[in-house]
Structure formats: C-alpha cells, structure tokens
Amino acid sequence: MKIGEPEKFIIDGKRLDGRKPGELRKVKIEVGVLKKADGSAYVEWGGNKVLAACYGPREVHPKHLARADRAILRCTYSMAPFSVTDRKRPGPDRRSIEISKVTRQALEPVVFTNLFPRTAIDVFIEILQAQAGTRCTGIVAASMALADAGIPMRNLVPACAAGKVGGEIVLDLSDVEDNFGEADLPVAIVPQKDEVTLIQMDGNFEKGEFEKAFKLAVEGCMKIYEIQKEALKKRYGGA
Ligand code: ADP
C-alpha cells in the first residue's frame, strides 16, 4: 500500500467523497467571463477551476503556419503554479504539451475551419486549481469559449472520464481515486454523431471492463453536454 492510499474506495455503495459509482462531481459552467477575449468560459468541476479564452479567427503569426484552405486551431493548456499543492514550475512541460495536443484533436472535428482560410483560432486554457480530470475540464471549457466567441461549430464537445477503483467501475475520478485507482479513461465525444474525439487510458482494465467504463464515460459526457447547453442558454437565452 502506498502512503495516503485508502484501505477501501467504496463503503456501503458510496465513494469516499459520498458519491455513488455513476455520479459526477458538481459541475458549474459560465460563459462570457472575460471582457478582452473574443470568447471565454469558466468551469468548476469538483475541485477543478479552469478558465478558457478564445481569440480569433485572426491573422496567423508566424505567417508560414497559415493554411490556404482553412483556419488553424491552436490550443494551449497551462497549469498555474498555484494550481497544485507543491508549486508547479511555470511554463510548458511534456504533460501540458501532450494535453494541448489532445485538446486540439478533441475540438478540431467540430470547428468549421474551412470558413476562415488563412486565419488562426487560438484557445488558451488556464488551470487555476487542479483536482484530477483537468484535461476533460479543459476541453469542456475550451469548447464553451469557442462557442462564446461565435466560432461556427457542428456541436459542443463534452468530455468526462470513467475509471476503476477498488475493483469497481466509477464515473469521474476524484484526486484520491485518480492517484490510487487501477485505471482512468478520459473520453470526449461529439453528441449525436457517435464520434469519439478523445480517448486515453491510464492503468489497466480486465476483460469486459473497458466497455463498461467507456459506456459510463459517454453517459457522463451526455450529462456534461446538458450543463454546457444550459450555460449557453443562461448567457444568450433562446431554446
Ligand atoms: P488529468 O488532470 O487530466 O486527470 P493527469 O492524470 O495527468 O491529468 O493528472 C491527474 C492530476 O494530478 C491532475 O488533475 C492534478 O490534480 C495532479 N497533477 C498533475 N500535474 C501535477 C503537478 N505538476 N503537481 C502536482 N499535481 C499534479
């Protein structure tokens, strides 16, 4: 057993933070929170606090990156030094470069980049406070910032992880579950299109468990999708 590892993850059907196995942490989304960006969003998801800001479509610098037939989408995931318990060294590291890349790949399929040739759409994701699942929180926030900027999109992109702790498949891992659990499976989807734009896996599942966890993660995504739509309605009204 590692230091800090709980003896049990599920007691009387309840997880250590009181959630049922298929329950999400509390999620709050607000759009249009920053005045200077073209679009922005703030997401609180459990203990995660994430801001996303979108600029564009705008001129591309450096110019050689411009594409004649479409806009380029650039995503930058960054963790604030005070977002974790031990101060994080500022600036990009391997992990944030990887998450920036998978975030772009998760969002690119829904953006009508062909409408804005020779331009760039930039999305900056700032993790102000981290508590497991920041890549999913970041994708959700970035998707909302793009929508708030009025970038034409096929749909929003919800994301959510499922995983395995103490031998059980659970939704949306907490920090303790993420640190000491057996597996973590973050997923992002395009609702109504049966399209998966992010799927990563940390740890191991046994036979049959992957399918169960994937299904649960997609169900989690659909719950997040509803919260995303509500946040847009709250800001802009309409059906
Ligand atoms: P995700 O945040 O998407 O779950 P990881 O699995 O890489 O991505 O990270 C899990 C959690 O570990 C993060 O949410 C964060 O709470 C914590 N973490 C990540 N990087 C650091 C770091 N440099 N220092 C302390 N904690 C970190």
List per-residue pLDDT tens for the chain, 239 residues long.
788 899 999 999 999 999 999 999 999 999 999 999 999 999 999 999 999 999 999 999 999 999 999 999 999 999 999 999 999 999 999 999 999 999 999 999 999 999 999 999 999 999 999 999 999 999 999 999 999 999 999 999 999 999 999 999 999 999 999 999 999 999 999 999 989 999 999 999 999 999 999 999 999 999 999 999 999 999 999 75
CATH 3.90.650.10 is held by the domain 19-236? no
Q: Ligand 1: does its nearest atom lie under 6 Å from the Cβ of 84?
A: yes
Q: Ligand 1: does its nearest atom lie under 6 Å from the Cβ of 132?
A: yes
pLDDT at 239: 56
pLDDT at 69: 98
**Which ligand 1 atom sits nearest the alpha carbon of residue 186?**
3
How far, CA to CA in Å, does 57 sit from each of 120, 121, 122, 137, 180? 5, 5, 8, 23, 42
pLDDT at 85: 96
The residue extents of the domains of the chain are 19-236
pLDDT at 3: 84
If 0-12 CB within 10 Å is exposed, 13-18 middle and 19+ buried, where does residue 86 land? exposed
> Ligand 1 center to residue 58 CA distance, Å?
32
What distance in Å separates the CA atoms of residue 195 and residue 207, rounded to the nearest whole number? 23
Q: Ligand 1: does its nearest atom lie under 6 Å from the Cβ of 178?
A: yes
Indicate which residue's Cα is closest to atom 17 of ligand 1: 132
**Which ligand 1 atom sits nearest the alpha carbon of residue 134?**
2
Per DSSP, the residues of 7-74 read: S-SEETTEETTS--TTPPPPEEEEE---SSSSEEEEEEETTEEEEEEEEEEEE-SSGGG-BTTB-EEE
In the chain, % helix, strand, coil (3-state, to 5) comes to: 30, 30, 40
Q: Ligand 1: does its nearest atom lie under 6 Å from the Cβ of 130?
A: yes
Q: Ligand 1: does its nearest atom lie under 6 Å from the Cβ of 103?
A: no
Q: Ligand 1: does its nearest atom lie under 6 Å from the Cβ of 127?
A: no
pLDDT at 1: 75
Q: Ligand 1: does its nearest atom lie under 6 Å from the Cβ of 198?
A: no
H-helix or E-strand containing 83? none
pLDDT at 2: 81
Q: Ligand 1: does its nearest atom lie under 6 Å from the Cβ of 201?
A: no
pLDDT at 180: 95
pLDDT at 41: 99
> Ligand 1 center to residue 131 CA distance, Å?
7
User: Which residues, at least 6 apart from 102, have a Cβ–Cβ distance to it below 8 Å?
Assistant: 135, 198, 200
